[in-house]
Structure 1
Amino acid sequence: MQAYRTSTKLKLGLIAAAVVIGVASLLFTQRLAGRLEAQDAAAVELWAEAIAFQGRAGLSAQGAAPWDELAAAVEASGRPAPERARLAAALDSLRDGPPSDGLDFVFSQIVEPQRFSVPAIVTDEAVTAAVLWRNVADDADHVALAREMDALHDPIPVEVSPGFVQLVHYGESPLARLIRLFPVVQLAVVALFILVGYLGFSYVRRSEQSSLWVGMAREAAHQLGTPLSSMIGWIELLRLGDSVAPETVADELEQDVERLRRVADRFEKIGSTPDLAPTAVGEVLERVADYIRRRVPTSAPVAITVDVPPDLTAPLNGELFEWVVENLLKNALDALDGAPGPHRIAIAGRAEGGAVVVDVADTGKGMDRATARHVFRPGFSTKRRGWGLGLSLARRIVESYHGGTLAVHETAPGAGTTFRITLARQA
C-alpha cells in the first residue's frame, strides 16, 4: 500500500511541477510579448510621424522642413535615449540644408526601408482605400486586413496636411506572434514529457512487479523444495522396511514439518507489520548457520563460523531475521563456487554504541563496484539462473521491518565480500 501511495505522490508531483513550469512560462512570455508590443507600437508611431512629416514638407510653400515638429515627434516616440539622440543629431545636421535633402533623409532612412517588421497599412480616413503598406503582401486585400488590424490595435491618425488625415493600421510582428505561441509549444512539450515520464514510470513499475511476482514464486518453491525433498526421502526409507528406526524417521519428518511451518510463517509476515521482541542474536545466527552447514555438499566443504557474544540482544522478529541471514549465507555459498579454497564464511556480531552490527564475510570471488551498486536491486542477479530477489528481500526485511540497514561493507574482485547488518539495540 505504501508503495502505491508513493507512486501516486510521485505522479502528482510530476504533474504539479509541469503545471508550475507552464504557468510561469506563460506569465513570463506574456510580459515579454507586452514589452515587445510597446516597442513595435513606438516604431509604428515614428513611421507614421515620418510619413506626416514627408507630406507636410512636400506641401510647404518655402520648401522648409518642420524640424521642430519632427524633433518633437522623435522625442515623444518612446524610443531608447541613445537612439533618440542619434536621430536628433541627424536632424540637426540637416536643419540648415536644402528642403530636398531633408525629404531624402526621411524617405530613405525611415519611410522606405524595413526599419521594423510590424505589418502596417496606411488608408484614408474612411478606411476605403489603402495608400501605403509595409510587411504586407502586395496582392492582399489591404482594406480588409486593415480592419482586422484594428481589432488588435487602434489606428494612428496622421495629418498629412491641414484637413487631410490618413490612418496607420498595424498588427503584430512575427517575433511577437512567436513569443505568444511559445507557451503553447512549451506546454505541449511539457505535456509530452509528462506522458513519456508517466508511461516510463508505469513500465518500470510493471516490470519490477513482474520480477517480484516471479521471484516470490520461485523463492517460495525453493523454500518449500528442501523440506519436501527430505520428507520424500524419509518416506522412501520407510517403504524399504527396517533399514531405519521409525523413531529416527519420525524425528526427521517432524523437523521437516517444522521447517514447512516456518516457511509459511515467513511468507505470512511479508506485507504485514511483524512483532519485534528482544532476542539473543547469537542463537538466531547459530541456528541458521547449523541449517546451512547440514546442506553444504561434502565434495566442497565450507567452514561456517559464528562469533557473537552470548549476551548480545536486539529487537528482532526471529522468523524474518533468520530469512535474512539465510539469504546472505546462500549468496556467500554461491560466491564460493569457482573461488580458490579453502572456503570459509565468517559470521561476527558485536555491539557498537547503541547499535548491533552483524558482518557476514566470505572468501569468494568478490564483486566490482558496478555489481555492488546494483546487487540489492530487484531482478538483478549475477547467476545465470538466478532471479535476483534474495538480497532485495533481505534488505527490505532489515530496513522496513527492523529499522536497520543492510549494505555491502567490503568487496573486491578475488578478495571476497562482507555484508553488514546494523540494527538498533532498543526498539
Structure 2
Amino acid sequence: MRAYRTTTKLKLGLILAAVAIGVSSLAFTQRLASQLEAQDERAVELWVSALEFVYATNPAAQGDDASLWAALEDALISSDLEDDQRARLAAGLDSLRDVAPADGLDFVFTQIVEPNRFNVPAIITDQAMTYVAASRNVEAEGEGGIELARDMGRFHDPILLEDAPGGPQLVHYGESPLARLIRLFPIVQLGVVGLFILVGYLGFSYVRRSEQSNLWVGMAKEAAHQLGTPLSSMIGWIELLRLEGAVDPAMVADELEQDTERLKRVADRFEKIGSKPDLEALPLLPVLEGVADYIRRRVPQLGSPVAIEVDVPADLRAMVNVDLFEWVVENLLKNALDALEGEDRAHTITIVGRREPSRVVVDVSDTGKGMDRATARHVFRPGFSTKRRGWGLGLSLARRIVESYHGGSLAVADSRPGAGTTFRIGLVEPEPLT
C-alpha cells in the first residue's frame, strides 16, 4: 500500500511540476511579449515622426513637386523670353530640382523612412478610412487593406499623421512576427512539456509493471527453490526406506522431521514478507551456526573442498527475526558457493561477527572469483544476476529484509576479481542486559 501511495505522489508531483513550468513560462513570455510590443510601438511612433519631419521640411516629399515643376516649366515655355534666356532658366530649374536635401533631412529620409528599420506591419489610411495611402511590411490594397487596418485598430490605437499629403492620415500598425512567435512559444513549450510528461508517465508505468512482473516471477522461483531443497531430501530418504536394511529408520525419521521443520520455516518466511515481523534480542552464534550447518550438509562433496567457518562471540546479540534473518544468511552463503564454481582449489567461507559502536556487524566472506566495481554496484538491483540461470532476486530480497524489516544495512564491503567478496550486514544492537 505504501508503494502505491508513493507512486501516486510521484505522479502528482510530476503533473504539478509540469503545470508550474507551464505557468511560469507563460507569465515570463507574456511579459517579454509586452515589452517587445511597447518597443514596436515606439518604433512606429519614430517612423511617423520621421514622416512628419520629412513632409514638413521638404515640400517635394508631400507629392506637390510634380505639379509645381510642371507649372514652372509651362510658365517658362509660354514666356516671351529669348531662347538663350529660356535655356538658362530651364537649366537653373533643373539644377534646383536636383539639389540634395539638408543633412538632417537626408539622415531622416535615408536612415528611417526609406530603409526597413523595423518589421512591424503598418497601413496608412485617410482619417475616414476610405482608401489606403501606403503600407509597410504587409500587402494591403483596396477593401482588404481597409479591413486589415480595422483589425489592427482593435489591438492598437492608430497614430495620427498630421502633415501628410492631402491632409491628416492615420497610421495603423499590428504585431511584429517576433512578438507573435514569443506569444506562441508558451503553447509550444506546454505541448513539449506535456509530451515529456506523457512519455515519462508511460515509461514509468512500463518499468513498474515490468518490475512487478519480475518480482512475481522471482518470488515464485524463490518459493520453488526454497521448497525444492527439503522436498528433494525427503524424496531421497523415502527411497532409502524402501531399500530394506539400507539405513536406520530412526535416523531417517529424524532427517524427515528436520525437512518437515524446514518446510514449515519456509512457509513462515513467505508469510512474514509484507508484514511487520517481531524482532527479538537474540544471540547470533546459534542462529549462524544453524544456517552454516544446514548449508554444510548440502554442499556437493565432489570437486574442491569447501569449508564454512563461523567466528562469532557467544555473547554477541542483535535485534533479529530468526526466520527472516536465517533467510538472509542462507542467500549470502548460497551466493558465496556460486562464486566458487569452476575453481580448482580449496575454498573457505567465513562468517565473522563483531560489535561496533551503535551496531552489530556480521561479515560473510568467500575466496571465490570476486567482482569488479561495476558489478558490485548492481548486485542488489532486482533482476540483476551474473549467473546464467539466476533470476536476480536473492540479494535484492536479502537487502530488503535487512533494511526494511530489521532497520539495518546490507552492502558489499569488499570485492576484487580473483580475491573473493565480503558482504557486510549491519544490525541494531539491543539494550544491555540488566
Structure 1 and Structure 2 fold alike (TM over 0.5):
yes
Indicate whether 1:54 and 2:86 are aligned. Answer: no
Rate the CA distance shift 1:123–1:162 in 2: closer, same or farther, 3 A: closer
Indicate whether 1:335 and 2:339 are aligned. Answer: yes
Post-superposition shift, 1:252?
A: 1.5
Partner of 2:115: 113
Alpha-carbon separation, structure 2, partners of 1:184 and 1:399: 46
Indicate whether 1:425 and 2:429 are aligned. Answer: yes
Aligned counterpart in structure 1 of residue 379 of structure 2, from 375, 382, 393: 375
Alpha-carbon separation, structure 2, partners of 1:281 and 1:130: 98
- Report the secondary structure of 1:164's partner residue: coil
Stretch moving more, 168-177 or 97-106: 97-106
Q: Is the 8 A contact 2:123 2:140 kept in 1?
A: no
Partner of 1:286: 289
Partner of 1:221: 224
One-letter code aligned to 1:412: R
Partner of 1:14: 14
Aligned counterpart in structure 1 of residue 356 of structure 2, from 352, 357, 362: 352
Q: Is the 8 A contact 2:132 2:140 kept in 1?
A: no
State the Cα deviation string for residues 374-398 of structure 1 (Å, max 9, x = none): 0000000000010000000000000
Alpha-carbon separation, structure 1, partners of 2:39 and 2:3: 54
Indicate whether 1:131 and 2:133 are aligned. Answer: yes
Indicate whether 1:34 and 2:34 are aligned. Answer: yes
Stretch moving more, 360-369 or 161-170: 161-170
Alpha-carbon separation, structure 1, partners of 2:226 and 2:120: 78
Alpha-carbon separation, structure 1, partners of 2:307 and 2:229: 21
Indicate whether 1:170 and 2:173 are aligned. Answer: yes
Partner of 1:151: 154
Length, aligned pairs only: 391
Alpha-carbon separation, structure 2, partners of 1:345 and 1:57: 104
- Aligned-pair identity (%): 72
Matches within 5 A, 1:59-138: 59=59, 99=101, 102-137=104-139
Post-superposition shift, 1:139?
A: 5.8
One-letter code aligned to 1:297: P
Partner of 1:85: none
Alpha-carbon separation, structure 2, partners of 1:187 and 1:340: 63
Higher Rg of the two aligned structures = 2
One-letter code aligned to 2:427: L
- Report the secondary structure of 2:264's partner residue: helix
State the Cα deviation string for residues 169-193 of structure 1 (Å, max 9, x = none): 1111111111111111111111111
Aligned counterpart in structure 1 of residue 369 of structure 2, from 365, 385, 392: 365
One-letter code aligned to 1:194: I
Q: Is the 8 A contact 2:339 2:368 kept in 1?
A: yes
Indicate whether 1:314 and 2:318 are aligned. Answer: yes
Which residues of structure 1 form unaligned runs of 5+? 61-96
Q: Is the 8 A contact 2:414 2:421 kept in 1?
A: yes
Q: Is the 8 A contact 2:412 2:422 kept in 1?
A: yes
Rate the CA distance shift 1:162–1:369 in 2: closer, same or farther, 3 A: closer
Partner of 2:414: 410
Alpha-carbon separation, structure 2, partners of 1:229 and 1:352: 41
Alpha-carbon separation, structure 2, partners of 1:257 and 1:417: 33
One-letter code aligned to 1:294: R
Aligned counterpart in structure 2 of residue 260 of structure 1, from 263, 267, 276: 263
Alpha-carbon separation, structure 2, partners of 1:244 and 1:339: 34
One-letter code aligned to 2:5: R
Post-superposition shift, 1:9?
A: 1.8
Aligned counterpart in structure 2 of residue 193 of structure 1, from 192, 196, 221: 196
Post-superposition shift, 1:224?
A: 0.4
State the Cα deviation string for residues 39-59 of structure 1 (Å, max 9, x = none): 100000111112222222344
Post-superposition shift, 1:111?
A: 1.4
Q: Is the 8 A contact 2:55 2:163 kept in 1?
A: yes
Matches within 5 A, 1:202-241: 202-241=205-244
Post-superposition shift, 1:342?
A: 1.5
One-letter code aligned to 2:136: R
One-letter code aligned to 1:403: G
Alpha-carbon separation, structure 1, partners of 2:124 and 2:336: 88
Alpha-carbon separation, structure 2, partners of 1:355 and 1:139: 88
Aligned counterpart in structure 1 of residue 405 of structure 2, from 390, 401, 404: 401
One-letter code aligned to 1:265: D
Post-superposition shift, 1:19?
A: 1.4
Which residues of structure 2 form unaligned runs of 5+? 61-98
Alpha-carbon separation, structure 1, partners of 2:229 and 2:105: 105
Stretch moving more, 232-241 or 156-165: 156-165
One-letter code aligned to 2:318: A
One-letter code aligned to 2:429: R
Alpha-carbon separation, structure 1, partners of 2:419 and 2:299: 22
Stretch moving more, 237-246 or 411-420: 237-246
Q: Is the 8 A contact 1:338 1:365 kept in 2?
A: no
- Report the secondary structure of 1:387's partner residue: coil
Post-superposition shift, 1:99?
A: 4.9
Post-superposition shift, 1:104?
A: 3.8
Alpha-carbon separation, structure 1, partners of 2:39 and 2:296: 85
Rate the CA distance shift 1:161–1:237 in 2: closer, same or farther, 3 A: closer
Normalising by structure 2, what TM-score?
A: 0.87
Rate the CA distance shift 1:150–1:306 in 2: closer, same or farther, 3 A: same
Alpha-carbon separation, structure 2, partners of 1:26 and 1:50: 36
Aligned counterpart in structure 2 of residue 387 of structure 1, from 380, 384, 391: 391
Alpha-carbon separation, structure 2, partners of 1:354 and 1:122: 86
One-letter code aligned to 1:233: G
Alpha-carbon separation, structure 2, partners of 1:342 and 1:109: 94
